[in-house]
Amino acid sequence: MLKLYDHPLSPYAQKVKLALLEKNIPFETSLPTNLGSGEANPEFSHASPRAEVPALIDDDFPIFDSTIILEYIEDKWPTPSLMPATPQDRARVRMIEDAMDTHYEAINWGLAELAYFGRASGGLLDEINAAAAAQISRWHGWLGAQLDESSWFNGETFGWGDICVAPYLNGSAGFNLLPPAGSKLADWLGRVNQRESVRKVSEAAANMAMGNNPAGMDAVRELLEKGLFKREYRDHRLEWMIKSGGISIVIDGLAKDNIRFTREFETV
């Protein structure tokens, strides 16, 4: 059976689980030990040299990076296809995926830093929250335009584009940042959340976030304050936080040793 190194709150891992569920491919999940500490157990490091979820192991063959995993799944199990039929539409949903994985993900990440981990207060908190809300509103407009007159980001049927948007919009919904009521995007979100695969993934995320969960947000915040858990400020996340006025958050996190950057690639 496929083994998926996963964290239920990771939108990258959620994408992979959605694809596997939609294709009805059996898999088991494993939450890596020491995830967030900057260290990782050897088996997970072998599967994911950056020590990031998701990582997929298929018959002892490890694959890392959510996009590459999705492509592997589509190549190995092409039916039912998650990709649109035409080259142009395939390029379109891949561009949507890239935008969501980088620019949009960084906003949700930053909001989590504020809401769950108390990285800012007072005027700075208000300033960054307002910037994030304005940015997400603009992204909602862009995504609505990508839907055009179609029911799904893939076109007439659910697929790759929808899988790559759903985790992020549901993440923003957790901060009460929803598409305008009655908009095409709001209607799409209502439809997508009725799918069994999306419900399962969303339920797993909600269960993980609960305060009484040993890996939930309250427990993670306690570890963070002790310097035993380090949030990964990589790529667009770091850029977003600084551009949104949070450079002091980065400096403070470095001083407290509770943020980290991308781990050195495991080459041994």
Task: Name the average pLDDT for the chain.
Answer: 93
Question: What is the model's pLDDT at position 125?
Answer: 98
Question: What is the model's pLDDT at position 129?
Answer: 98
Give the 3-state secondary structure of residue 119: coil
- pLDDT bin (cut points 50, 70, 90) of residue 213 is low
Distance CA 91, CA 64 (A): 21
Please say if the pLDDT value at position 192 is more than 80.
Answer: yes
169 near 188, Cβ under 8 Å?
no
Average pLDDT, stretch 212-235?
80
- pLDDT bin (cut points 50, 70, 90) of residue 38 is low
CATH 3.40.30.10 fits 2-76, yes or no: yes
For the chain, list the strands marked E by DSSP. 2-5, 27-30, 55-58, 61-64, 231-232, 259-260
Question: What is the model's pLDDT at position 211?
Answer: 55
Please say if the pLDDT value at position 153 is more than 60.
Answer: yes
Question: What is the model's pLDDT at position 41?
Answer: 79
Question: What is the model's pLDDT at position 66?
Answer: 98
Q: Which two tokens stand for residue 212?
A: 């009484």
Please say if the pLDDT value at position 12 is more than 70.
Answer: yes
Please say if the pLDDT value at position 137 is more than 70.
Answer: yes
